[in-house]
Structure 1
């Protein structure tokens, strides 16, 4: 592979997934199922579950596998092949360490895709690897672990890759890797796309605090009102920054808060696609709290607060959510906040 050319007729490449958890494991297994060479790099405790292969399923009934990508624990990085493409799937809080650890895997023309939820990870990677093409990637779907060896895509959405310039081979890459189990697109407007994804990700913290599946959360109006307030603040920031957010769901970004505020009976009728998710799906932040890990709250709701304050805008709702998640992380508060209680806290403002 050269920096600006991917031969679609002889498209056999070495893919490395660095930080393979639920998203990285699903991504890598889907690429491997499409005939590519894939090495998943992650924690030994995660990889041990996949020794006999990974089976993929999704909410539309598609399935594949088991597939058997190469597995390599983070402790054995020196044994890993250098990658034509490196998919960086660690969380934002782990980016700086990952940048150092993945150095032995990078060739002169390795193409790096940053798959983080928050904002700004790709700038750190590009600074560390200035001669490599570094792309943003937005993951628009959720993945859960059905069994130790089965990863399940439980919601609509696709993987969108950044097209850096007119001669960028990303369109060829997308067309080659796209399958029913891995829906892919490319975009020239990733900043707007990242903010649109961030709008949807504001619900991660609400779900983590509610301690119930996402579908159950969305069926309660008070939780939806909390989410609407968070989104209102983000949309205000986006408007002040001159960003026009693309439509990632059946509704335009600006309409979503109004729909979330509808009475339950009307929301169920008009927002059926918003509820077209697996009833067991929970957000990544819920999993982080469940596993006693530090969350990405600073890069999600915290990022909205930081941008709002820099623009002189109010951001009380996101400040409260940021504070509540920090309290859970510190053991001061337990998750499981009732909808009315959470709405009261958010509307009261930060303490």
Structure 2
């Protein structure tokens, strides 16, 4: 029997672990590893919903937090779904390294660029695959995880495609997984990750705006800042001859133009982009609220680093990074929302 460990039971980890557990023929094939509070919640059951109105649930999940239990499940696992934040990857690998079975496959589920390469350096004897999560997840109540936006899970193509398809296809719950968690395999994950990074640039603006994503996108000033950062990223991508796949209903190179439209036109033309649960906020907003280091260096910072190598200027992206760093240094959980026009002025967007 294929054994899975989801290492990191945050929002994405809990949602993914819930799907794996519901799809597995035997739920005990899947174990979630997380903090004590998360483990206690997941052990009581889970409910997964999405913005289309789909709902599935389970009475309990196999979740652990003690060192002995972690060693037991990790040492038997064939697939480790690494769902911790980018900032916690190094420490997670150090914890996992002495426990891993020789055949264990590591699936990196982080945003940003280059995380899988870092893991490969630390675990050269293990196969490491990349996975891209395109949607937002919010926790509405204890054990209730809600997918609030569109997107298809992207998994790096490998010889394990057939096994992973069975694990995610809802064999035990016909039709469930395809609705709750659509997925597809990709050969060129580097291009997929850059395409996702283009969308993730809005995370930093959401964190600064301090309002839900839908409310942010309804204001042109915030969209102008995101569009400016996207144009900088697209210049980097073009210089590196990367062809971005289409992750949304709008091709990547047309998204900045769409974002610049006046509010009334944007609402009319970009209705799918606004088809987001009104409560959804980004992971970077959550990090600032919980006074944690954000993933800004792995997201916007990756654009600036790549731009430097190919001689592309990224003044807006760099200015947004500085603002996020200032928020991190203040260690203040409760912040006043930043008004859209004020943000434009701060980062030099007109």
Q: Secondary structure at the match of 1:107?
A: coil
Other-structure match for 2:143? 149
Other-structure match for 1:295? 294
Other-structure match for 1:70? 62
Other-structure match for 2:154? 160
Q: Secondary structure at the match of 1:80?
A: helix
| Structure 1 CA distance for aligned equivalents of residues 349 and 270 of structure 2 | 28
CA separation of 1:105/1:155 partners in 2, compared to 1, >3 Å: closer, same or farther? farther
Other-structure match for 2:174? none
Other-structure match for 2:102? 108
Other-structure match for 1:136? 130
> Does the 8 Å contact 1:209/1:335 carry over to 2?
no
Moved more, 244-253 or 97-106: 97-106
Provide the aligned length of Structure 1 versus Structure 2. Answer: 335
| Structure 2 CA distance for aligned equivalents of residues 89 and 258 of structure 1 | 33
Moved more, 324-333 or 21-30: 324-333
Moved more, 239-248 or 178-187: 178-187
| Structure 1 CA distance for aligned equivalents of residues 319 and 186 of structure 2 | 33
* Unaligned 5+ runs, structure 1: 1-11
> Does the 8 Å contact 2:104/2:126 carry over to 1?
yes
Other-structure match for 2:194? 195
> Does the 8 Å contact 1:92/1:116 carry over to 2?
yes
Moved more, 334-343 or 212-221: 334-343
String of CA shifts for 1:98-128, please: whole Å, max 9, x gaps: 1111124421111111001011111121122
Quote the offset at 1:66 in angstroms. Answer: 2.5
Quote the offset at 1:78 in angstroms. Answer: 2.5
Quote the offset at 1:226 in angstroms. Answer: 0.5
Are positions 1:127 and 2:128 aligned together?
no
Other-structure match for 1:230? 229
CA separation of 1:152/1:332 partners in 2, compared to 1, >3 Å: closer, same or farther? closer
> Does the 8 Å contact 2:291/2:331 carry over to 1?
no
* Unaligned 5+ runs, structure 2: 170-176
| Structure 1 CA distance for aligned equivalents of residues 59 and 274 of structure 2 | 30
| Structure 2 CA distance for aligned equivalents of residues 75 and 329 of structure 1 | 31
Q: CA RMSD in A?
A: 1.6
TM-score by length of 1: 0.92
| Structure 2 CA distance for aligned equivalents of residues 169 and 319 of structure 1 | 39
Other-structure match for 1:54? 46
| Structure 2 CA distance for aligned equivalents of residues 332 and 310 of structure 1 | 32
CA separation of 1:272/1:175 partners in 2, compared to 1, >3 Å: closer, same or farther? farther
> Does the 8 Å contact 1:17/1:38 carry over to 2?
yes
> Does the 8 Å contact 1:55/1:63 carry over to 2?
yes
